[in-house]
Amino acid sequence: MTYREVALTARACAGWCVVLLGFSIPLSTALDGVLVGLTVSAWLIALPLDPRGSLAVWVRTRPALVALLLFCMLLAACAWSPVPWKAAWSAASKYIDLLLIPVFIWAAASIQVRRRALYCFLAGVTLNLFVSYGSAFGLWESIPGRHTLPSYPVGFRLSVTHNLLVSLGAYMFLLLAREARSPGLRAACVAMAAICAHNVLFIVIGRTGYVVLAVLLTYFIFNAIPGRRRVLLAFLAMTALFASAYFGSDPFSNRMQDIASDLTQWRPGAGDETSVGQRIGYYRNTLEIIGEHPLGVGTGGFPQAYAEKVRGTSAPPTVNPHNDYLMLTAQAGVQALLLLIALYVVLWREAPRLATRLERDALRGLVATMAIAGFFNSALMDHVEGLLFAWGLALLYASHPTTRETR
């Protein structure tokens, strides 16, 4: 077997790893690690076959270039971090999924790979729904080691991540329904989208998922209906959906009522133990840290800086402000924040250049999901959300004219 044949075989294997990642991301962290490792290994094996073309993706593909600059900014901020180099690198490595974007683009060159990967992702979301509803009805209580109980009926991920995945799944099922040619397939996709929305609003707690679902459904309606009436229809649809959830779902109504209660209890500097109150405290103190250190406290230096900020108060310390934008800015400065915003803006503006309407709208849905989730959680540094972003971005952006010319 010649080296060229080995390299082509490696690329084919990488394509199947990308396909299977669609199934594993909603389900298994361990399997994610194996598949990512195999994909990177295949890329390294095939690299000498066309080194210039493979490496050109890093600089000719705008999102990959911005993501690379963002990661380099985090590495540079290690230089003025107050923590040891090993701890600083550990903090920077939480964003290492950004470096996988060109590798996934290379592996997802085939449209068959991209479609299979999308179907595998929806299969993984569906399996999460199966486990979640089974938990809600108490079917798994007798299984040792399961944390999915009727009081916490999630699938394979915790509630925040579960609701993000299922909300994105609802949106993707609607996109497939719009593209379906047969009435039966269209009805099945609409039904699955409805089940996803029901699971998010009526079964699983997770307020970030509520916001993401509302934005994705509103965006879908805006694209599906022409003319000015789409504003009214979107408003009526969202009002009816969330009103039914408020009056028909105890988890949803309780979480909404908790927001008002938490806001009234919050006091600056107080040791607030409520979810909303703690986040307000995190945001307020982190903004003060950013004001004192506009270039950042250094990668990995946030826990120490925050502990010093709240010393002498009853406010609890934290290692994470639960906000992507604040976390990046506090560590690597305002320049890192600008790069993150630039990444989302570039993806949103270049989406119309993708090959199909499905890919265009799916990419914007992914960007909206990550941008919104970043306001309430450090999604980009979390394993599932960070890997989902890199994998989904590459999968959808692989049809962009620039990446096709580079390949």
Q: Provide the token pair at 179.
A: 């593209």
293 inside domain: no
Enter the tokens of residue 270.
Answer: 């107080």
Q: How far apart are CA 287 and CA 292, in angstroms?
A: 9
On whether residue 364 sits in a domain, the answer given is yes
Q: What is the pLDDT of residue 270?
A: 56
212 lies in some domain:
yes
For residue 228, is it within any domain?
yes
- pLDDT for 403 equals 61
pLDDT of residue 342: 95
Q: At what angle do helices 159-179 and 207-224 cross, to 10 degrees?
A: 10
Each residue's pLDDT expressed in tens, for the chain with a length of 407 residues: 787 788 888 888 999 999 999 999 999 999 999 999 999 999 888 887 777 766 777 777 889 999 999 999 999 999 999 999 999 999 999 999 999 999 999 898 888 999 999 999 999 999 999 998 888 877 766 554 555 556 678 888 888 899 999 999 999 999 999 988 899 999 999 999 999 999 998 888 888 888 999 999 989 988 877 767 777 777 777 777 778 777 777 777 776 666 666 666 666 655 556 667 777 888 888 999 999 999 999 999 999 999 888 887 777 888 889 899 999 999 999 999 999 999 999 999 999 988 889 999 999 999 999 999 999 888 999 999 999 999 999 999 888 766 655 55
* Residue (of 117, 127, 123, 141) closest to 199 by Cα position: 127
Q: Is position 182 within any domain? A: yes
Spatial contact of 19 and 51, defined as CB atoms under 8 Å apart: no
The dihedrals phi and psi of 149, each to the nearest 5 degrees, come to -110, 165
User: Taking the chain, what is the end-to-end CA distance rounded to the nearest angstrom?
Assistant: 24
Domain ranges, residue 230: 3-264+315-406
Give the separation between CA 282 and CA 276, rounded to whole angstroms. 10
299 part of a folded domain: no
Cα–Cα distance between 115 and 107 in angstroms, integer?
13
**Domain annotation covers residue 76:** yes
On whether residue 310 sits in a domain, the answer given is: no
Please tell me the predicted confidence (pLDDT) of residue 39: 95
* Neighbouring residues of 30: CB distance < 8 A, sequence distance ≥ 6: none
On whether the CB atoms of residues 276 and 262 are closer than 8 A, the answer is: yes
Given a contact cutoff of 8 angstroms between Cβ atoms, the answer to whether 140 and 131 are in contact is: yes
The domain tally of the chain equals: 1
